[in-house]
Each structure stands twice: as structure tokens, then as C-alpha cells.
Structure 1
């Protein structure tokens, strides 16, 4: 149903642009980091399961800090939450300096955890802040518009990962590195860690600059804002709304599916390019990362298209349609063992483009002040990015299953996630119907 109300009222244009820039910044962090699972696995000569600890701590930081962030912005303001998030983001990025000097895996995990505690503050603050910047009737479209800039940051992160990290890392794989002497292996590790750390240190400086701009900018305040920290009252209100708590579940599975599709596309493509094209492990990883960039490009284009379609199609219905598309493409990713499977995996990203902000907007619509704690629940659901990829990594390390490469079979887990999301979309426009 088409609406004549402005998506972003004139008085909110500048604040909207500033906060939308934060969407790009956390997109950069997410998608420069996904390929690092393979990079750390290679640098420290670990299996895929060892490398996925990056994802566990990265998305664990979101879960650990979501409700503390909600308490903080409830007591202070959305702007304060944004500034706290940027401060922690910059601190975590700059912790790559001592982590690189130490040269061990775990200091990098600490740096990622601190950084994502900041990202949790940013997402818990920025998403409901965007919903606040205009009429309730256009809130979902407004959030989709802001979220459309998230994949721009993601594309930048992927490009940096491919061009300035993966292309410059030593291409030798695990078997070749295992043959090196301890001295040679350590020299190689130092070289690779220097390359890996540099982009994170650079983004830390960028984040400091954005922090200062927002600090001195005039930002809107919610005049009805209350500093009463009635967490249990807010939780009770939220639990009375099925489309909210079902949205938290749907969001958990969405984030898990997104991380799995964007992380393990490297391993999926790497197998194809090594076995069928004879590339080395390093060159195959670079080639696979190029397809990850294609996937993000389709995600970006689809996000703008879907934001337009929301003027005419109810959010829940469009969410269900795209979920069905993702299910079929996931099946192709599992069954095809050649480049066509990789094409299907790339196509899943176009279907995912609408999902996060639409689930978010549906779940929080009309929540008022309870949206601050409600946002925390939805951000906490990002912990789906911790255990689901870990399960998929375990499957991948099995080698082969059911006469198929294990990496192919592992995409049955994202397929299941899209089934859950599709059910939520269906229930939204049938059982949890609301007027646009």
C-alpha cells in the first residue's frame, strides 16, 4: 500500500545521514572479518573450526553487550549510546597493535570482542533511533533505507579483505606450512599478521573522526524519553506481543544464516577452484572472495529494490517470498558440486537483503519507549552468528557426507534458518497482521 508521508522528514535529514554512516561502519567491520576465519586458520595452521573462534567472539560481543547497551541508552540517550559504541569500536580496532606485537591468536580474539561490544552499542542505539526519526507508518521503510548503506560498508570491507589482506598473505596452505621449520613458520606468521592488522588499525582512526563529528553535532532527542530503568516492566510488555518475541527468534536464525553464507562462501569456492581449476589454497581463497563481493553487490542492489517494493507489498509477505527463494537457492548450493552451486550461493544474498531490517521493523513497530529494551533483544539475537557457524564449521571439517562434499552438505543449516524466517513472514501477514 503506497503512502504519501515522507520516509525521512526534512528536520531529520542531517541526523539521519550521520547515523546512517554508522550502518556502513559496522558493515565494514562485519565483512572485513568474515574472510579472516580462513586467514587465521591459515596463519596459525588451524582447521576451519579453530578459525571460527573469530566469529564466536565477534558475535558473542553483540550478545554480551546488547542489554547493558539498552540500559545505558535508556538512562542517557541514543546519541550517548552511539558515542559509546564508536569509542569501543575504535578501542577494539586499535587493540590490533598490541595483539600484533604479541603474535598469538587469543589477543586478536580479545580485540574482536571489544570491537563488537562497540558494534552492539551502535546497533542497539542506531536502529531504534532511525525508527524514531519520522512517522511510525514509514518506520520499516526508513530502517530499510538506512540499512541499505550497511552493504556499502560491507562491500568496502570485502574489497579491503581481498585486495589488501588475502592478496598479500603468503599463499601457502596448511600442508605446506606444516613442512616449515619453527623459525620459518614464525617469520611467515609475523609477516601475515602485519598485513592482517593494518586495515583494522586504519579504521580505528576513521572511527575516532566520526566520533568527534557526532559528538559536536546537534541530534534530535525523544521528548517522551524516560530515564526510568523499569526493565522487567518493559520485558513484560514485550512478551505480550508475539510478533516481537517470534521476531527475536527469526532474527537469531537470520543472522546465523547470513554469517554462514558470507563466511563459508570462501571455503565453498576454495574447494571448487582447487579441485576443478588447480589453484593453490591462497589463490583459490582470493578467487572465492571475489564471489563474496558479487554476493554483497547483489545484496546491495536487492536492498534498494526491496525498499521500493515495500511501498506496495506488506513487509511480512515480501519477507516470506524472499525466504522461499533463499530455500530453493540453498538447495542448489547443496546439490550442485560445480560453479553452479557457487552461483546459487551468491544468489542467496539477494534474497537476504530485506530480512534483517524488516524483521527488526516488524518486531519493534509501535513499541514506544519499550523499543530500547526491545532493540536489545533483537541485537542479542545476533548470537546466532556464534554457534550456528561453529556447527557448520564442524560439518565442513568432516570432509564428505552422503557422497557430497561436506562443505555442500553444511548449507542445509542455512536452509533450515530460511524455513524459520519464512514461517515468521507468513505469520506476520496472516496472524500478526498490522496496517501499513
Structure 2
């Protein structure tokens, strides 16, 4: 039996004393990569509105392509990881991610919207494999009781990617020099090269073969027998998991909607702020607080129930969105980027709470929770349509409703 499992290095030790710190660090690089890729979308959204002269609702097809890829690839990713293991699933995801990134180059030559959407869809298929593998993998790289803390700590690196994405994207895409289409190729070719290098590192590094179906009370043989009996329909027996899928849908919907139209909102309520300045506010203000929230959240969960903390953060974001919808100039802008701090723990906490206790169904459950990010494909289009008809401030009623759902999830007494 492991003692003091929430203190010091024991957070990364297996039930037989194995040290999982280095594998954890390596997996953290994946969180950075998809954070960067997702954050770059928030800049792309505004950039496509400018260079293609399209409406806010149509520009939201950027999110539809990415999160639609998550929905399509969700179940296949779970099956791949279930059959071939975490390591091969991660390498496969990295290779698909790289292919999608390199597709941006021919898309910049064609100069129409569809090729960019196809490239983003391919990237999403790769990211789905990475998230389906990496999220549950972090929860089993040590004692089960500290799983929520580990996934929040790993997601802190995701926050670093969210900072650098709009910062570098804004500098490259909103500069007044050069071809605006050609500028799109530079960040994605760079991403593709980095992703391939990380894929090589994963191939050459031995990783512990851990089944997410294992727990401290099961032997390896017992866990293997349970894994053979794993079925998707068994997940219907777990009410907390089902609610977690719903909550994750609404979280990603709200977070994506905020990110997609952050720049549009800022320049609407403060016309004196440029696109480049708005992207910098997003990077340092919103995403900076997002990363701080992830790191501090992982620490707070050492002493505070993750689900209750989730409910408190969701309630605060409901109140912040009320001020955002009121459109009070800089006060509302501040509330908008402060909301990133309280969004920070939501995705990993909902994920960890949702898969807890699933045992042999963990990989399948993980793939379905990842599929729930399809909320990010639908809601930005709704927000864009509301903004085109009314105003951008009115559109932020949508994420307000999303945070209400998460608040209810945090208060629920359901169990798996």
C-alpha cells in the first residue's frame, strides 16, 4: 500500500515503486503541442475574416473543421489505443498531426478556404489520438488518488502552448508586411517539424506499458481479464461518466466560443485596440492566466475536492460572463480574460472525474469524452450567427449558459 500518495515524488510512483516522472515529462510535451495548435485557431479565425472577407459565422468553420475531426476520430482513436497501446497510439497521432500541419503549405498556394479546413481536419484527427492517449495515461502514472492533480499539472504545459499560440500567431499573421497567405505556412511548417522530432523521441524512448484499467486493488492478470470484457455499452452504467461527457461538450463549446471571438469582442468594445494588440491581450492576459490557473489548480486540489473546486470556478465564470454581455468597455475586457483563469481546471478535471472508476472501460470512456469536444464545432457558429445579426457582446450569452451546465455538474452527487 502506498502512503503519502499526494506528497513529493510519490505522486509519480507506481504501486510497485516504479518511478514514472520521466514518462510524465515526455507526455507533457504533447499537452504543449495541442495547446499551441488550438490557440493558433483563435488568431486564424480573425485572420480569415480579413483576408477572405467572410462573415463571423463562416469563419467559425475553422473550429467546426477542427472539432469535427475530434468527433469523427474519437471512437477509432480509442480502439487504436486499446489494441496497440499508449505508445503506438501517441506516435500514430503525432504522424497524422505532422501531415496536417504540412498540408498548410499547399493550402496557401490554392488560397481558398476549403484546403485550410481540410488541413485543420487532418490535424484534429492526430490530436484526437494524442488526447485520447495522453489524458488517461497521466492519470495512471502514479497513485489513482492523485490522478486529477497529475492531469491538471500536465495540462499546465497545455496552458504554455495557449500563451505562445496567439502571441506568435498574432506577430506572424497580423503584421502589415508580406503576403498574408504565405504567412500562414510559416507557423504550421514549424509545428510539423517539431512534431516529427517528438515522434522520433517517443519511438526511441521506452515507456511503461500501463493499462488504464489497472488500479491498486487488481493484479495484472485480473486487469487483463477485465479488459477483454470491455464494451462501449457498459459505459451506460456509469451516470457520472455520462454527465461528464455532457459537461465536457459544454465546456469546450464555451471555451472555444470565447477564444474564437475574443479578438472580435475586444475591438468591438474598444475600437482603439488593433487586431495585433488584441491577440497580445489574449496571449498574455487570457492564456497567461489560463496557465497560472492550471498550475495553481493542481496545487489547490491537494487540499480541496476537485469536483467542488470545479463548481466554484464555474459559478465565478457565470458571473464574469454577465459583465461581458453587458459590454462595459475595458471592465468587460478584463472580465473576459480573467475568465481564462477559472476555465483552466475545467477540461482536465471533468476528464479525470468522468473516467474515475471505469477500470476496463477507461480507454473507451476516454475516447467518448474526447469526442465531446465536438461542442467546439457547433457553438462558435451559433455565436458568430448571433454576432452577425445582433452584436458580439450578445453572442457571449452562449458561453454563460455553458458554464451554468458545468456548475450543475460540479454540484452533482452522481458516481460511477
Same fold (TM over 0.5): yes
1:337 is displaced (CA, Å) by 3.2
Partner of 2:217: none
1-side partners of 2:282 and 2:167: how far apart? Answer: 10
Q: Give 1:380's match in structure 2, choosing from 371, 376, 379.
A: 371
Partner of 1:114: 122
Partner of 2:214: none
* Contact 2:264–2:392 (8 Å) recurs in 1: yes
Partner of 1:212: 200
1:196 is displaced (CA, Å) by 1.5
SS of alignment partner, residue 148 of structure 1: helix
1:347 is displaced (CA, Å) by 1.1
Gaps of 5+ in 2: 212-219
SS of alignment partner, residue 306 of structure 1: helix
For residues 419 and 124 of structure 1, do their structure 2 counterparts lie closer, same or farther at Cα, with a shift above 3 Å needed? same
Partner of 1:403: none
Partner of 1:42: 50
Partner of 1:184: none
* Contact 2:326–2:332 (8 Å) recurs in 1: yes
Partner of 1:246: 243
Partner of 1:178: none
User: Once structures 1 and 2 are overlaid, which stretch shifts more, 156-165 or 381-390?
Assistant: 156-165
Question: Normalising by structure 2, what TM-score?
Answer: 0.91
* Contact 2:35–2:161 (8 Å) recurs in 1: yes
Partner of 1:149: 157
* Contact 2:324–2:332 (8 Å) recurs in 1: yes
2-side partners of 1:311 and 1:84: how far apart? Answer: 34
2-side partners of 1:149 and 1:168: how far apart? Answer: 31
SS of alignment partner, residue 11 of structure 2: coil
Question: Normalising by structure 1, what TM-score?
Answer: 0.87
1-side partners of 2:88 and 2:94: how far apart? Answer: 10
* Contact 2:240–2:415 (8 Å) recurs in 1: no
Q: Give 2:401's match in structure 1, choosing from 416, 429, 433.
A: 416
SS of alignment partner, residue 218 of structure 1: coil
- For each residue in 1:90-110, what CA deviation from the matched residue of structure 2 results, as whole angstroms up to 9, or x when unmatched? 000001111112222111111
Number of residue equivalences? 397
> Does residue 187 of structure 2 align to residue 199 of structure 1?
yes
- For each residue in 1:74-103, what CA deviation from the matched residue of structure 2 results, as whole angstroms up to 9, or x when unmatched? 111011110011000000000111111222
Q: How does 1:242-391 map to 2 (within 5 A)?
A: 242-274=239-271, 277=272, 284-293=274-283, 294-391=285-382
Gaps of 5+ in 1: 171-190, 401-405
1:332 is displaced (CA, Å) by 0.5
Q: Give 2:22's match in structure 1, choosing from 14, 28, 43.
A: 14
2-side partners of 1:309 and 1:265: how far apart? Answer: 28
* Contact 2:163–2:287 (8 Å) recurs in 1: yes
- For each residue in 1:318-357, what CA deviation from the matched residue of structure 2 results, as whole angstroms up to 9, or x when unmatched? 0000011000000000113311111110111111011000
1:2 is displaced (CA, Å) by 9.0
For residues 332 and 2 of structure 1, do their structure 2 counterparts lie closer, same or farther at Cα, with a shift above 3 Å needed? farther
Partner of 1:135: 143
